[in-house]
Amino acid sequence: MSKFTMKYMIQIAILLFAIVAILFTLGICNAGVIPFVPSYNWYHGCGPTALASIMGYYDNLGYSDLFEANSWDAVKATCIIQDEISSPSHNYKYDGVDKQNVPDSWTSIADYFGTSVDPLSYGASWSALADNAVRDYTAYKGYDFNSWQKHYCVMDDQEIINEINNGRPMLALVDSSSNGIPDHFIPIFGYEYRDDLLYYAAYTTWHEDERIDWYLLQGVAEGNYFGVERLTFIEPITQIGSPNVPIPGTIWLMIGGLVLVGRGRK
């Protein structure tokens, strides 16, 4: 990309940012999606796969040691970053039978998430370890991230909106079977109001293309498809330099919100 093109794009982004800021102030803009969040195919567990989408987002924003990938095309390919989702040694030890004599590698998200560790079934992760997985994996990669959990039933939806508006995707434990039992992890990175109902943007971890999946934001109960049981909030503390994307993520977020308002529906 030429310096002229970069300058032109930044000028357009600043103008759009100003427009959307005014719309937010007036209460007109009621949607937003964080861009450059990679979507991954399920790899040895929904927990590490979903969390990898958030780590991939931050890797692309300048926390470039989170994954051994040096471009957006590399970061968004499951086959390139799969060993950081779940390492070969983790797979060998926990795929099927827990091999007690094999040491843990502590090099992948699955290691810190307790994925497939006995007595869990293959691919399952401890929801209580989600925030620890964030802090420990990022520390292993040389960064300081803060992370905490909240049950959706004690939350205000505005908390979710604020995180997205500030460019911070969240990890969610949801009920993918609508049977009232939370059973799946997904990344949440957008929101949109439709007829006064709030929907959230996510990936299911069942496809690699960056096709957004939209679900009604609601708690876990029988019949509530992809109802949310708890959220893991993630906030980087370590300061980094310039992101690898041409325009800062927060500005892209505002542009995404403007585009969503313009098109109205999924």
Q: Where do the structural domains in the chain lie, given as residue ranges? A: 36-244
pLDDT digits over 213-222, tens only? 999 999 999 9
Average pLDDT over residues 118-127: 90
Residue type, 131: D
Q: Does 10 or 30 have the greater pLDDT score?
A: 30
pLDDT digits over 140-165, tens only? 999 999 999 999 999 999 999 999 99
**How far apart (Å, rounded) are the C-alpha atoms in residues 226 and 237?**
30
**How far apart (Å, rounded) are the C-alpha atoms in residues 247 and 231?**
28
> What is the per-residue pLDDT for 31?
87
- Choice among 102-116, 127-141, 148-162, 237-251 with the minimum mean pLDDT: 237-251
Residue type, 265: R
**How far apart (Å, rounded) are the C-alpha atoms in residues 264 and 198?**
13
Tokens (6 digits) for 159: 């908390």
- 87 in Cβ contact with 105 (< 8 Å): yes
> What is the per-residue pLDDT for 95?
82
Q: Are strands 170-175 and 184-194 parallel, antiparallel or unpaired?
A: antiparallel
Torsion sign (Cα): 123, 127, 131, 136: negative
Region 36-244: CATH code: 3.90.70
Q: Please, what is the average pLDDT of the chain?
A: 85
> What is the per-residue pLDDT for 11?
56
- 233 in Cβ contact with 150 (< 8 Å): yes
Please state whether the predicted TM-score (pTM) of the whole model is above 0.75. yes
pLDDT digits over 179-204, tens only? 999 999 999 999 999 999 999 999 99
Average pLDDT over residues 111-130: 92
Residue 90 has pLDDT above 80, yes or no: yes
Q: Does 238 or 261 have the greater pLDDT score?
A: 238
Cα Rg for the chain, rounded, in angstroms?
19
Tokens (6 digits) for 100: 């007690």
